[in-house]
Amino acid sequence: MSSVVAPAVVVEEIYDRSKEVKDFDDSKLGVKGLLDSGITSIPRIFYHPPESLPSTTPANKLTSDYEIPTVDLSRIDTDHRFTIVDQIKEASSTWGFFQVINHDVPLDVLNRALLSIKAFNEQPNEVKSKCYCRENERGMTFASNFDLFQTKAASWRDTLQMGMDRLDPDKVPEIVRNELIELDQYLERFAQTLMEMLGEGLGLERDRLENMACFERRHLAGHYYPYCPEADRTVGTKCHTDPSVFTILLQDQIGGLQVKHGENWVDVQPCPGALVINIGDILQIMSNDIYPSVEHRVVTNTYPEPRISIALFFNPSNLEILYGPLPEVITPPQKPALYKQFTMEDFMMKFKSKGLDGKSSMVDYFLL
């Protein structure tokens, strides 16, 4: 009599994403804490669909050897300013990204700020976890993924964020307080010059954008990207555009930032002392598409050393007036307005509801 072997029963693993997200957030460990615990594989909440993952091959090896434009500001106070304005206009309109050198922000100010973000994240968990929070009650937040509860797949990074224009210094961790406030002071002054030149490139009066309070609201994000044991499953920051007028980014020498140019992804090669500038969604709308807001992302860190970056986002402070394409850049019928008018309150409510989503940028929502 032959025996019959019953077929093996495959039991599908039960995955409760909501619970795992909550458990991760409640732990207040962040991804750095997970790494310190000795993990060799990452939690499933960080898995991204394979088709959305960047190649592990550097972007510039997959495409032509592109580089984003670099603008030298050393002669900005001479007649060469007109040439610099033209260079910034060209970079902004063709790439939406560029680097600036000789910008008068001291190198030691930049380096101290980066080191302070590194030191903050490398404190013992019992110290750092006291700062872990998502609610902006103290003028700052510290958490892993600001959109953790909205996104379908988390990114491998931890972020300290604060509103610099409304900051109570006493509520900022001492380990970063002086360094980030000093950085903000320098970048605020530089941003005024930058905004003037961006406006001049559009044919605006020098103080036009400043009079619209276009850069008074400043939001700082200090990102910490530790080594990832499964780099081929996740990302550092997924593809997105910035919901700002423009962003000033300081990155260390690890690299990892990539910009989409046409159909290609291009590495933004670290340049000592340089600042990376990118056009945000709001300026794309105000410029009526002359300056595009371009998709970018950060690949997962495969190096033993953490990747550190600091972004300062500049936004309008007036929540009541209407923003939209500027009259100076509209010439019907050849160049009609492409976007409807909106308030900043409407804009930010829309952004908070969608989070980072490179598939449909904020500008699409306001198209006429």
Over 80: is that where the pLDDT of 57 sits? no
Over 50: is that where the pLDDT of 1 sits? no
Query: pLDDT of 200-249, one tens digit each?
Result: 999 999 999 998 888 889 999 999 999 999 999 999 999 999 999 999 99
Q: Which residues contact 158 (CB under 8 A, 6 or more apart)?
A: 30, 31, 32, 121, 142, 143, 144, 223, 224, 226
What confidence score (pLDDT) does residue 321 get?
87
Query: pLDDT of 280-332, one tens digit each?
Result: 999 999 999 999 999 999 999 999 999 999 999 999 988 888 999 999 999 98
What confidence score (pLDDT) does residue 122 get?
98
Strand partners, 279: 246
Over 70: is that where the pLDDT of 354 sits? no
What confidence score (pLDDT) does residue 61 get?
45
List C-alpha distances in Å: 107 to 65, 110, 208, 251.
28, 5, 30, 12
What confidence score (pLDDT) does residue 8 get?
52
Average pLDDT, the chain: 90
The mean pLDDT value for 54-76 works out to 72
Of residues 349 and 355, which shows the higher confidence score?
Answer: 349
Place of tokens 């394409």: 325
In a 3-state reduction of DSSP, which class is residue 154?
A: coil
What confidence score (pLDDT) does residue 348 get?
82
In what side-by-side order are the strands of the sheet with 264-267?
237-240, 296-298, 257-261, 264-267
Residues of the chain above pLDDT 90, percent: 76
In what side-by-side order are the strands of the sheet with 158-163?
70-72, 97-101, 275-279, 246-251, 307-315, 217-225, 158-163, 140-143
pLDDT band for position 66 (50/70/90)?
confident
**Identity of the residue numbered 56:** T
Region of 183 please: left (phi>0), alpha (psi -120 to 50) or beta: alpha
Token pair for residue 355?
């989070």
Distance separating the N- and C-terminal Cα atoms of the chain = 78
